[in-house]
Amino acid sequence: MKGGIVHGVGMKGKVMDYGAIESDVDSLEHIQFQQVDHIDLYVLHNNTIQKETKGPSILYDIIHHDKERNYVVKEFMEPSIVMRAQGMTKHAYMMREIDGFSHILPLLKKHNIAGIKYRNTVLFGFEIFMKQTGHLYDSKVSRCFVINRKCQETMSMKKVDLLKPNQFIAFVKHILSELAELQKLNLAHGDIKLDNIMKCNGKYELIDWENSRKLDYEFLVKQRYLGLSPMYFKILYGSAWYPAFSTALLKYYQETGGYDTYTSSQYGNAVTSHYSDLFSKHSTEEVFQQVKYELDLTAFGFILYGIMARNPTLKKYNNFIMNLFKMKNASIALHEFSKLNKTRRV
């Protein structure tokens, strides 16, 4: 944490400031870019994100792009050997996140949902190519960046466990409201966990849109990913979905502090039992049409169950949380939650 801003290094990249803070060495302006060949910008034009290739002189404008100091940049690191064997590269990581932003462009105009103000021209990411001269040949190396909202607080199990009742209410309402807007566009976030929720100017917001997906069955089958949902595991593993899903749940608990480190829980058992019953009665595609708007709610429910399990003052929300993954969509869930808190203002 520097200057009240969240900095960090994750599995895929490092988050840093744009620059213009002389004392902050963890900023874009302190990176030494030598022998820049050209720069590819990913910019909003005509409601689509398009690539523009520019010369080295544009670098100064990029570094000092953040005039109002509202954003940070994430630089992607070289993937592990295992990920490279699967075809992943720094560029692929960058493009996945930029493509994720492209899914939610209609919401940027109305809700500032990704923390990026909608303008006629918005910079979403950039790749800086540098020429490297060797003895026998010239090769080009690059560094890949995306633009992220600058927030003061990222969520963790320790922080959500300290939420007071009114803060918990705000936490739930803000995320459900955002999911409701997403679902109006037939989209899913696809990667809901504490690491991907931040508090920005008093509002809890989802971040990390690289796994956002259209909620169409053919698209889901082709992409083979939709977060921590039984649907994904059924499509990928068929009849062996149950043990694969259970293993993923355990990994989720351990890595994100979703609610505990146990191999099972009341909520987890309810989820798997519910989907086991559905899968036994319907085809995978039929189940998808029934539950497609529940998929993000399932993952969010794991977080809420954990908060409640560790905070006895929130037991009044037990029935709501235990049934969250069966509420069809986020609008219904938000309505049901609001009824529990009619006298409270957020």
pLDDT of residue 224: 67
Cβ distance 113 to 200 under 8 Å? no
Does 184 have pLDDT greater than 60? yes
- DSSP assignments along 56-117, one per residue: TTHHHHHHT--TT--EEEEEEPPPPHHHHHTT--HHHHHHHHHHHHHHTHHHHHHH-TTS--
Residue 235 pLDDT > 90, yes or no?
A: no
Domain boundaries, the chain: 8-149, 153-340
**More reliable by pLDDT, 332 or 203:** 332
The yes/no answer on whether domain 153-340 falls in CATH 1.10.510 is yes
Return the SS3 of 234: helix
Strand 8-9 and strand 13-17: the pairing is antiparallel
Is the pLDDT score of 267 beyond 80? yes
Instruction: Give the Å distances, CA to CA, from 99 to 43, 93, 123, 215, 228.
Output: 12, 10, 13, 15, 20
The whole-number pLDDT of residue 14 equals: 73
CA-nearest of 328, 292, 333, 298 to 188 is 292
Contacts of 115 by beta carbon, 8 Å cutoff, 6+ apart: 70, 71, 148, 149, 150, 151, 200, 205, 207
**Least confident residue range of 78-82, 98-102, 229-233, 290-294:** 78-82
Biggest CA pair distance of the chain: 74
Give the pLDDT of residue 172.
Answer: 97
Least confident segment among 27-31, 189-193, 270-274? 27-31
Give the model's pLDDT for residue 10. Answer: 61
Alpha-carbon 125 to chain mean position: 16
What is the pLDDT, as a whole number, of residue 281?
A: 94
Neighbours of 208 (CB within 10 A): 22
Backbone angles phi, psi at 87, to 5 degrees: 90, 5
pLDDT at residue 140 in the model: 63
pLDDT at 129 over 50: yes
Nearest to 187 by CA among 168, 207, 209: 209
For the cut 80, the answer to whether the pLDDT of residue 345 exceeds it is no
Residue 286, CA distances (Å) to 65, 145, 216, 279, 289 in order? 48, 40, 12, 9, 5
- Cα separations (Å) of 44 from 41, 97, 98, 141, 144? 10, 14, 11, 25, 18
Q: For residues 35-47, give the mean pLDDT.
A: 88
Write down the pLDDT at residue 136. Answer: 47
The predicted pLDDT at position 116 comes to 52
> Model-level pTM greater than 0.85?
no
Dihedral, 130, 132, 138, 139 alpha carbons, nearest 10: -60
Asked if the model's pLDDT at residue 132 lies above 90, the reply is no
Confidence of residue 306 (pLDDT cuts 50, 70, 90): confident
Q: What does the pLDDT read at residue 30?
A: 78
The position carrying tokens 């929130």 is 314
Give me the mean pLDDT over the 224-238 stretch: 80
Average confidence (pLDDT) over 306-312: 86
Helix (H) and strand (E) counts in the chain: 14, 12
- Rounded Cα distance, 12 and 76, in Å: 6
- Indicate the average pLDDT of the chain: 81
Nearest to 296, CA basis, from 157, 159, 177, 151: 177
With both helix axes pointing from N to C terminus, report the angle between 284-291 and 230-237 in degrees, rounded to the nearest 10.
160
Comparing C-alpha atoms, which of 297, 39, 40 is closest to residue 182?
A: 297
Assigned token pair, 25 = 């060495």
